[in-house]
Structure 1
């Protein structure tokens, strides 16, 4: 029996069944873009812990920052005894997120918590109850964020009832929209909201600039700017969920920048802290300061060790220009993925930006989703030493999220494995 097999036995006896895992092996260590399991097997990582380890696994600057902070103190609770690193991370977020206006930030633990706080802030500031979210959206696993999330299985099934005053609008999904333009797709949203909800009742419009779990859906050009324009006119808080797209992942620091969209509030997490749990809400000072003292916070929010890791990670992103690195990854991967699409009739679309790339699989000659095909390709990759993920409302999208520090040779090797996996499963 291998050590991984022994750990699987122990897991079955100790861990709740509802917690899933992609790999059946157990990690021993990971460096850069490579994961090694307890039995010595290695995987090239095209998952990055779901867009978390943008700066790579065990980045030396992050490791050193964490070590130094742990030696000083691990926790005081910022609401009890504050510390400089929390303030410094907020300063960085205020400077990095889109918009030249005065900003404030709040630090919490996870993406779901960031989204919840963004909604709390929008409701408090506007005095309105309703929130508009989108088809195919994913925003988390807490009660409110499950309500905001579109997909039932596995995220919502039998976990209700959910929080109220959440309204679903159609997303711009070019592959499945019949050629609808971005502005026309936005007009469809506005018409629905104004007729069924009433703009005067809407506190927040919550949107992922590129959807994550929903299938790496890139909306048609003009969709986000048109919604931004409507939200401004209607007094609705435009909230960008940049949890998966943020921190250089799409070739810019934040995905909204690709169309010069400036949100009122931005929710961040994942890539912010090199693998440590940290998240934030950043936005217009008048909105962020609207809540009363004591109305925002949390025991572990902005933990000093996570803040130290975030400051080190942001430093790496700047020094190594990881936004440009994401664009280089795209320049290499995009033609390779399109070459696969030209050969494999299951591929309906290659999409994404930067190092956030996806391939949607369908039954040849149709738009009928092919989740079994996506699962087969991903499993073939795993067997050949490449860690990939699937996603999408229909489970038929293969997604690629390599660390932004991946070398050219590693990227090429991973794409070779992917190419062979498509050929082997066609």
Structure 2
């Protein structure tokens, strides 16, 4: 019976980490359903981007209030959970505050954790007010109904409860230290929780131990719950923001990717010395792709699918989108959410069919993302610029447009007219080559 709590703790830890590992494996498999893409270039710049954007939060502070609050929650929550290492060691071996031997360093760490915990609570409350009382417009777009709306609030409640449990655990521990309770060594500095401890005067050692152990268990179980909740939440970006910013686009944001097969054909057409009947060089990969553009998630690259899982649903992209601002149906955030939802659906299909995809009669185009949304995009890159974690909704929009044009000839009539004019007249306007300069002769 002496070691029962330790055994129970190890069991809970193994279940929590095991379930998390299982879900992360699924996410990795789903992401790798995308087409391969070479992102091995300029590693130094990629590491710098990851350090500045994901770790340094440089794009968050473009909006100072939200940026500062986010940094407090992010830094506070991560640093406070360093104490999880101590909790894990104590839980496995039955010790209590195993790092207490660090002396003044330990006191400084615990004091810092408590101050950060208080700041996190203040920031979480501010976020809740912005979302539920002030009701910022970007949190109430059509795609933010149902689960996305609940998820935004639920994560705030979880963070608030975890911080309160942390401070409660420390407050009872501090009180037990003052009472000289056995096993509760004098360690740590408690600038915040010592005020909470004043409310516990007269509880008695047995009741304080029950409260301390309850808060301790709920805190670690809550952290494991939070860890596994990430899989079902937009807050998966806590983990994926790092690889996503590393693999983010390095070239000019306005530069679009050209299909090599199409580029070769155009060069062949423009080269007067080219022999259209020449036998292709066997060393060259001259086969065109099986499909131009993308109609489903498997047609996208794995980086684009990583983008979808990384989306924070913050809505900065949509709030900057000129099409959305003028009442068009397009929302870049919805593009990413739809891509992730379709990818999750494909993943469940694979799970149900032992790793083989069974045709379900659905695809990303039309069933999730409408053509109206795709053609509403002005390709201005405002969404890409606004994203705090280097997500590129525009690349998905352009790939799906490419499919519509090259596979279905389904461009809007105005665009078809323009492309026909370019093909026939060398310009977007319906005037032949001989008449192109007539405007200059008019008085």
Higher strand share: 1
- Greater length-normalized contact order (CA 8 Å, ≥ 6 residues apart): 1
Higher helix share: 2
Q: TM-score, normalised by structure 2?
A: 0.21
Q: TM-score, normalised by structure 1?
A: 0.22
Q: Find the structure with the greater CA-based Rg.
A: 2
